Amino acid sequence: MTVPYHPPVKRSVEIAGHKTSISLEPVFWDMLRAVAERENLPINAIVARIDEDRIRAETPPGLASAIRVWLVTRWRAESRTEA
């Protein structure tokens, strides 16, 4: 398990054929990797999906913030269905 209090780590991803870098804390990279494995998709595909959603928001957040919110929202929804 990743230490929860760690500075963000920058990684490169590709969205719609364009490379970009995203800085996320390791715990969020771990969560993103887990979702990608469960859905049998590359991380880039998950990030692209999040990016499409965030762009449609009334006040779009930055991509890293959108990823964090998406992961926590998904985790909360999954936690409720398991209870």
pLDDT digits (tens, 9 = 90+) for 47-80: 999 999 999 999 999 999 999 999 999 998 888 8
CATH label of the domain that carries residue 31: 1.10.3990.20
Q: What is the mean pLDDT of the chain?
A: 92
pLDDT computed for residue 55 by the predictor: 95
**Would the pLDDT of 1 be above 60?**
no
2 in any annotated domain: no
Residue 62: give the domain boundaries.
Answer: 9-82
The pLDDT confidence band at residue 3, using thresholds 50, 70 and 90, is low
Give the Cα separation of 81 and 3 in Å (integer). Answer: 27
**Would the pLDDT of 81 be above 90?**
no
By the 10 Å C-beta count (0-12 exposed, 13-18 middle, 19+ buried), 39 is classed as: exposed
3 in any annotated domain: no
53: nearest Cα among 15, 79, 8, 80: 15
4 in any annotated domain: no
23: nearest Cα among 3, 7, 9, 2: 9
pLDDT computed for residue 5 by the predictor: 84
The domain tally of the chain equals 1
Q: Could you give the C-alpha distances from 31 to 27, 58, 77, in angstroms and in order? A: 6, 26, 14
